[in-house]
Amino acid sequence: MNSFASPQIFTALPFSRTDTGKPPADDLYSRIFDAILEQRIHAASRFTEESLAQMFSARRSDIRGVLTQLSHQQIIILRTHHRPRVAAPDAEQTRQTLHARRLTEIMLARLACQQPRPQDLKRLRALINSERQCTARGPAIRLSGEFHLQLAEMAGNAPLAHFLGTLVPLTSLAIAQFDTQAEGYCAWQEHEGILNAVEYGDVAMVVTLMTRHLDHLEETLLNSEPVSSRNRVAG
């Protein structure tokens, strides 16, 4: 899991599995978050630490850690003497989250244009390629959000990037819970355009493309209807 030295940012990259018999914690986080975003675990689901441990072949202590992390991100609601449940952000909460993202990401995009490092650009291009491949099979919600988190890390402002790290998972959850078309998600084509502008240090173009990108996301989300509790096809 990517992080800054201080404070920590929770991200959701896909990690390779090891042969220890149990999934590493970062991989387990990604798998559970994917299950939520794909509506295999949804707001109406009745699940427990034990049922998730069986579902993901993991230890209950590791499941508990992931649920705690997701609760800090406001994805999972944990209450004493109650089963965990997936949050269901309403339209106003989503609107406020998107507004906060806009203010934060425009500044982070500007900062990312300052002497971008080749290794950061290479890492982001690899992520966009993964997003493109995943989109061919279905929505790439988590990977799309990961692009924004990695770009924020590239900007080099840890407090702003940490704040964005609290907003992106909520946006991903809102995307998953509304009936949006694939082109309404954070499309890899738009990410590629933003990254190209960052590489050339074109601040004006980066701001224009990021603003257009967030406009697209906001318009799609706030004009969509909630999906039913049917399972999504895994993407």
Q: Are residues 61 and 100 in the same domain?
A: no
| Residues contacting residue 106 through CB under 8 Å, at least 6 positions apart | 207, 210, 211
**Which residue would you say has higher pLDDT here, 14 or 151?**
151
Give domain status of residue 227, yes or no. Answer: no
DSSP labels, 4-58: -SSS-----------SSSS--HHHHHHHHHHHHHTTSS-TT----HHHHHHHHT-
- Partners of residue 85 on adjacent β-strands: 77
Residue 135 and residue 61 share a domain: no
Position 2 in a domain? no
230 domain residue, yes or no: no
Per-residue confidence (pLDDT) for residue 7, from 0 to 100? 36
User: Higher confidence at residue 13 or residue 209?
Assistant: 209
Confidence band (pLDDT; 50, 70, 90) for 96? very high
Q: Are 62 and 109 in a shared domain?
A: no
Q: Does the structure show a pLDDT above 80 at 12?
A: no
223 vs 64, which has greater pLDDT?
Answer: 64
Q: Are residues 126 and 146 in the same domain?
A: yes
pTM: 0.78
Q: Which of the listed residues 86, 102, 119 is the one where a domain comes to its end?
A: 86
47 and 154 within one domain: no
Which percentage of the chain shows pLDDT scores above 90?
A: 60
Residues 189 and 78 in one domain: no
Partners of 77 in the β-ladder: 85
Tell me whether residue 233 is in a domain: no
Alpha-carbon distance of 184 to 217, in angstroms, equals 6
Tell me how many domains the chain contains: 2
What's the CATH number where 119 sits? Answer: 1.20.120.530
* pLDDT at position 19: 39
Q: Which domain range does residue 165 map to?
A: 91-222
Structure tokens, 107: 């500044």
The answer to whether residues 77 and 116 belong to one domain is no
Domain boundary among 86, 109, 130: 86
CA distances from 175 to 37, 158, 163, 211 (A): 8, 26, 19, 18
**Is the separation of the CB atoms in 141 and 172 below 8 Å?**
yes
* DSSP code, position 226: B
**43 lies in the same domain as 127:** no
Q: How far is CA 194 from the centre of its chain?
A: 17
CA 22, 52, 82: angle at the middle one, nearest 5? 140
Q: Are residues 115 and 153 in the same domain?
A: yes
- Note whether residue 209 is domain-resident: yes
Name the packing angle between helices 141-155 and 158-177 (round to 10°): 170
For residue 195, being part of any structural domain is answered with: yes
Q: CB-based contacts of 125: which residues, under 8 Å, 6+ apart?
A: 195
pLDDT bucket at 225, cuts 50 / 70 / 90: low
Is residue 77 domain-shared with residue 124, that is, in the same domain? Answer: no
The reply to whether 218 and 162 lie within a common domain is: yes
- Domain-embedded: residue 137: yes
With H, G, I as helix, E, B as strand and everything else as coil, classify residue 82.
coil
Q: Which two three-digit tokens encode residue 94?
A: 């989503």
Instruction: Give the rounded distance of the alpha carbon of 152 from its chain centre.
Output: 13
Q: What is the pLDDT of residue 221?
A: 83
Q: What is the CATH number of the domain that holds 64?
A: 1.10.10.10
Give tens-digit pLDDT for 31-73. 999 999 888 998 888 899 999 999 999 999 999 999 999 999 9
